[in-house]
Structure 1
Amino acid sequence: MNSNLNEDALDTKYIVQCQNLIKIYKSSDDIEVVALQGLDLNIKQGELMAIIGNSGSGKSTLLNMIGCLDNPTAGKLIVDGKDLFKLSKEEIITYKKQTVGFVWQNNARNLIPYLTALENVELALSITRQKNKKEKALKYLDLVSISHRKNNSLSELSGGEQQRIAIAIALANNPKILLADEPTGSVDSKTANLILDLFRDINREIGVTIIIVTHDGQISAKVDRVVAIRDGKTSSEFIRKVSYSEELKSIEKGLYDKSQFGNTHMELAILDKAGRLQIPSEYLKALNLKDKTKIKVELEDEKIILYSPDKR
């Protein structure tokens, strides 16, 4: 472990620690594209959380770097106590086999079409050289409630059923982190809700950390924490006002509507280590600033007030 890491980076309760993470791509015509520009994020062991943002915000880039499918340009990325900047090729292979599991939106990346559900999971177990493959494959299919379809080919299964098999495959190496990139993007809303309920059940049953990337904030309402990324930085977080168990009790008693995202979560803006704050574009637009680079800031009765310098 790098001795120059600050105290936050040494906190063992975090399984993922990103500090000032930067990712720059070069296009074919040698133009630089900044996907992440100083992103800070900590994820606790056993957390069920989502990362949301518009296309191009950097959320999938972050997921790929946590999965060691892409390399950061600068900053620090510590996962399960490992500095991903310093891993050798052999260590990266071991990391992928032992630490992370992936669920993709496109089932073609998850599944082999000419194999049955059981054979797909057995293949994943073969890659990690596990014994008793059939027994373990059935266990994982049962965990995602699809064991009754174990002998069916993929053409005989619905999109939701295929995604359940994909989740079973992602769990086959017993990962510490399950990474899901738009896992509900190709199914209807009813099936999406079932898949998200499944993620919660898995999280509660086996304690695996689950990170879901999605562009849909309403879908993300089922997780415990939501981090919003804008322009390559964390801009805000939505955290639960009440625990999920308390929420379920309230729903059963008819105290509030479970579908209302705002009733379950509270939004918090994110300050980086230098005290900088990302202000939502709609807020700045409402101020109608003449100079788009400057804003007046005042402390008033324990509140920070932002306003156009031309109006006060």
Structure 2
Amino acid sequence: MIHCEGLVKIYKAADLEVFALQGLDLRVETGEMMAIIGNSGSGKSTLLNMLGGLDRPSAGSLAVDGKDMLKMSEPDLVRYKRESVGFVWQNNARNLIPYLTALENVELPILLRGRRKRMRALELLEAVGLTHRKNNKLHQLSGGEQQRVAIAIALANQPKLLLADEPTGSVDSRMADQILDLFREMNRTYGITIVIVTHDPHLAKKVDRVVAIRDGKISSEMLRKRSYAEELAELERGAAPADPGEDSHVEYAVLDKAGRLQVPAGYLEAIGVKDKNKVKLEVVDGKIVLTPPEEAS
């Protein structure tokens, strides 16, 4: 579904150039549900904007659903945003129109494409568990209910890709669990590819793959030891739940095409390589070993 290679994004402000992405490589399979995490300023929201056609890369290649995002004309880009991708934002003001009811909010994007709106909108509200709130306006809905309406809106035009930017950032942990479970259900039911951008490590318990961005590049990937679906199936068979203290994922450093990787600062500090730009690299018993540089005598 998504293929990024050597993706670069440069923002210019006055005489300054800011590199938001610095040669990022990423593949996301069709039907996958995955998360992208990273600190503020790491480039994760910039990547999401480019996947959604809201911004264009400065260099590199980016293809979504077989479409070359760098070569798209403006009319093609508008069509892509209307037909191929759905958005869920943390800020509900970007998702919902306050003077419309929940049903009318979901009907609007369907109406813009000339489809039969009422039946489709009701089906989507039922899918997110809000049929009983269909006639309520924004101020009459809780934060979690508003976010569920936003998910219904994002699915209104049957997109192949759903992008969610901090979708659980404005709700409590219980509602966050419900929203993430809803994403999982939408993923299973509709086969839609879902990419969630977040800084919340709690998401790792709900998705099978988590990609970490640091300094505009993919630094590591975390893969589940057992898929989330397998764990749910075991619980349904009566198996004991996993120990909450046990790591559910295995983290792998990501090599770029030149064989480079980003070593987390904590690892370097642990071996005494703080405020240095060199390490000694050796192969010992079939393992690559990093050690601090030898001090000059």
TM superposition score normalised by structure 2: 0.95
Deviation of the 1:247 alpha carbon: 1.1
Percent identity reads 62
The CA distance in 2 between the partners of 1:212 and 1:104, in whole Å, is: 10
Q: Distance in 2 between matches of 1:204 and 1:100?
A: 17
SS of match in other structure, 1:42 = strand
Task: Say if 2:89 is the partner of 1:104.
Answer: yes
Q: Which residue of 2 aligns with 1:256?
A: 242
Corresponding residue SS for 1:263: coil
Matched with 2:139 is: 155
Indicate the larger mover: 38-47 or 143-152. 143-152
Asked if residue 228 in structure 1 is aligned to residue 212 in structure 2, the reply is yes
- Alpha-carbon contact 1:250-1:256 (below 8 Å) kept: no
Distance 1:100 1:301, change over 3 A: same
Structure 2 residue ranges without an equivalent (≥5):
none
Aligned to 1:82: 67
Please name the residue that 1:210 is paired with. 194
- Counterpart-to-counterpart distance in 1, 2:262 and 2:295: 22
Partner AA of 1:20 in structure 2? G
Query: What is residue 65 of structure 1 aligned with on the other side?
Result: 50
The residue number in structure 2 matching 1:306 is 290
Q: Per the alignment, do residues 248 and 289 of structure 1 end up closer, same or farther by CA in structure 2, a change over 3 Å counting? A: same
Distance 2:111 2:161 in 1: 20
Change (3 A) 1:290 1:92: closer
The runs of 4+ residues in structure 1 deviating greater than 6 Å are: none
Contact 1:227 1:236 in 2 (8 A): yes
Q: Secondary structure at the match of 1:226?
A: strand
Aligned residue type for 1:303? K
CA distance in 1, matches of 2:203, 2:192: 20
Which sits farther off after the overlay, 42-51 or 145-154?
145-154
Pick one of 77, 92, 95 that aligns with 1:92: 77
Q: CA deviation at 1:129?
A: 2.3
Find the aligned partners of 1:192 and 1:236 in 2 and give their Cα distance: 25
Alpha-carbon shift at residue 309 of structure 1 (Å) = 2.0
Match of 1:140 in 2: 124
- Secondary structure class of the residue paired with 1:65: helix
Residue 85 of structure 1 aligns to a residue whose secondary structure is coil
Quote the Cα distance in structure 2 between the aligned partners of 1:108 and 1:116.
14
What RMSD, in angstroms, separates the aligned Cα atoms of the two structures? 1.5
Instruction: Choose from 22, 25, 36 the match for 2:11.
Output: 25
Is 2:258 aligned against 1:283?
no
- Quick one: which amino acid aligns to residue 239 of structure 2? K
For the residue of structure 2 that corresponds to 1:218, the secondary structure is: helix
| 1:103-122 paired onto structure 2 within 5 Å | 103-122=88-107
Is the aligned partner of 1:247 residue 2:231?
Answer: yes
The structure-2 alpha-carbon separation of the partners of 1:226 and 1:291, relative to structure 1 and needing over 3 Å to count, comes to: closer
Q: 2-side partners of 1:40 and 1:232: how far apart?
A: 10
Give the length in aligned residue pairs: 294
User: Contact 1:299/1:305 (CA < 8 Å) preserved in 2?
Assistant: yes
Structure 2: distance between partners of 1:311 and 1:220: 41
Cα distance in 1 between the residues matched to 2:279 and 2:96: 52
